[in-house]
Amino acid sequence: MGELDGKIALITGAGRGQGRSHALHLAEAGADIIAIDICHDIDGIFYPMSTASELAETQKAVEALDRRVVAVAADVRDPAQLEAAVATGVGGLGGLDIVIANAGVFPISPERQPADPRVRARLWKQTLETNVRGTWNTLEATTPILVEQGRGGAVVVTGSIAAAKGLTYADAGLTAYVVSKHALIGLVRGYAKDLAQFKIRVNAVQPTGVHTMMIDNPVVAARVTEDPAMGALFQNALPVDAIETADVSRAVLYLVGESGRYITGSRLVIDAGHNLVAPG
């Protein structure tokens, strides 16, 4: 028997990267999956978002593990879209036990400080809309269901080690990202306190860089090559440039499973020693 047999988990940003990894790890542990992703690009973000075909690949991979899955395209920035997606998933699978608010963007641009103020404004807007409002929309669309069901639940928010320090670099996109990830810790603490009475736990994972499209793209590669000082911001103590999605997924599984039953309002750091060496 799996640790999560009989549980239903909703994951945003499930088309690829950390979201897909979380979906597969939770499915392997016995959970059925509601997989949500945007499936179109975002203006002002300089790498491609997930596609409908990638979300379909996640669905097939979960099905291959003999778990039920509902995959829905929805933009977490849009409350109506998200609420409809949640309703489709919960209605199709018959409930909800676990929420992984994972959707997010890393808005590094080709220029350190874009000269056009409209570009800088878009970086801020899209980052805060996706990372902060999108997470809030996810919690607002799902936690009332957990409360109404009356059987408790677990929520994990994808944070970042960037929220453990002032990891800024006079860079409009990086500053927006750091601000957004700091804000998520406030959301986690607030929801954890409010929902504890209902036996609903809310935590965050804070990984260092993870090998996904968010950092493994030509824009980030060019910026780090051109400016080694920026690359030094992401240095880890352990001899790895970034960790794998599975490393984060195992932490998520710990938090949502029986092993994490008394953990709430916390931040689980998976940083390869980043805090020990990186400036900030």
Q: Write out the catalytic residue numbers.
A: 177
Q: Which residues contact 109 (CB under 8 A, 6 or more apart)?
A: 46, 119, 123, 172, 173, 219
**What separation in angstroms does the CA of 218 have from each of 23, 45, 212, 224, 225?**
27, 13, 12, 10, 10
Specify which residues 204 forms β-bridges with.
Answer: 157, 267
Edge-to-edge strand order for the sheet containing 69-73?
A: 69-73, 32-37, 8-12, 98-101, 153-158, 200-207, 267-270
**What separation in angstroms does the CA of 274 have from each of 84, 163, 235?**
39, 12, 6
**In 153-278, where does DSSP find H-type helix?**
172-195, 218-226, 228-232, 245-256, 274-277
